[in-house]
């Protein structure tokens, strides 16, 4: 308890309205963020204005560690998807935390390794797989994250829109809608408003693994 109280002192809690741009890729950054409530997307923008979501973060997740660790600039932009409460840790706080509890750095590297794995899968998907397979894999990924405490109700609860799914997959919103309909016709999912219910995870996995 004493340790938790000491750590909590280092963080500053802030509430942000829905769709607040927290920071933009390329700018210097010296805060790490932890999601306490709500959700955040990190994304890269092309000159054309199109965006690609790299990942979504929910309560318990952290982001913004890369600029802090490298002493460099933000590698992507971040925006709240809904009203969110975030905990901010500045550089001196981060240094005090990791000096006193070096195991925090081990935990952070573990998460960075998991993110690199997921980025590798995304690269493979973008090169080798069509939209059906990418959507199937993304739905399974979101479901798996909900199983480990992440709110996959998300699509249901209006947190991930088709627009965001499209940006995660790197395709248009119309393509996402069409592909969701196709998955429904195949009996793999059921669409309930904005909610996508996975009916047959095994067959969805088969679609996810099919190549072009
Ligand atoms: P930072 O570069 O400080 O700001 C953007 C943040 O987005 C970055 O730290 C990471 O926390 C996060 N981020 C960047 N790229 C990825 C990725 N491929 N997968 C998950 N998170 C990422």
Structure confidence by residue, pLDDT tens digits, 123-160? 988 888 899 999 999 888 887 776 544 444 444 344 57
pLDDT at 147: 53
pLDDT at 125: 87
Pocket of ligand 1 (CB under 6 A): 29, 42, 54-55, 63-67, 74-76, 78, 115, 119
Between strands 31-37 and 62-63, the pairing is antiparallel
pLDDT at 162: 80
For ligand 1, the distance from its centroid to the CA atom of residue 191, given in whole angstroms, is 31
Which structure tokens are listed for 68?
């802090």
Distance of alpha carbon 9 from alpha carbon 89, whole angstroms: 10
> Whole-prediction pTM value?
0.86
Which protein residue has the closest C-alpha to ligand 1 atom 12?
63
pLDDT at 212: 61
pLDDT at 43: 96
pLDDT at 146: 61
Which protein residue has the closest C-alpha to ligand 1 atom 21?
55
**Mean pLDDT in the chain?**
89
Residues lower than pLDDT 50 in the chain: 148-158
Q: Which of 26, 66, 86, 125 to mutate to test the pocket of ligand 1 (most atoms within 8 A of CB)?
A: 66
Annotate 120-169 with DSSP letters as a single string.
HHHHHHHHH--HHHHHHHHHHHHHHHHHTT--GGGGTTTSS-HHHHHHHH
């Amino acid at each position: 308890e004493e340790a938790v109280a000491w750590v909590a002192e280092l963080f500053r809690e802030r509430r942000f309205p829905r769709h607040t741009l927290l920071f933009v890729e390329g700018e210097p950054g010296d805060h790490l963020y932890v999601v306490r409530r709500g959700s955040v997307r990190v994304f890269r923008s092309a000159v054309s204005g199109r965006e690609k979501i790299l990942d979504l973060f929910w309560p318990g997740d952290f982001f913004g560690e890369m600029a802090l660790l490298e002493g460099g600039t933000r590698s992507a932009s971040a925006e709240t998807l809904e009203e969110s409460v975030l905990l901010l840790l500045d550089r001196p706080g981060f240094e005090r935390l990791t000096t006193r509890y070096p195991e925090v750095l081990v935990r952070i590297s573990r998460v960075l390794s998991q993110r690199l794995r997921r980025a590798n899968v995304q690269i493979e998907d973008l090169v080798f797989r069509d939209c059906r397979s990418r959507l199937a894999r993304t739905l399974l990924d979101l479901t798996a994250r909900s199983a480990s405490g992440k709110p996959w109700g998300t699509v249901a609860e209006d947190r991930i829109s088709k627009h965001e799914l499209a940006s995660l997959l790197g395709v248009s919103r119309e393509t996402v809608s069409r592909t969701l309909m196709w998955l429904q016709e195949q009996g793999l999912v059921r669409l309930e408003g904005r909610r996508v219910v996975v009916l047959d995870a095994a067959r969805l996995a088969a679609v996810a693994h099919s190549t072009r």
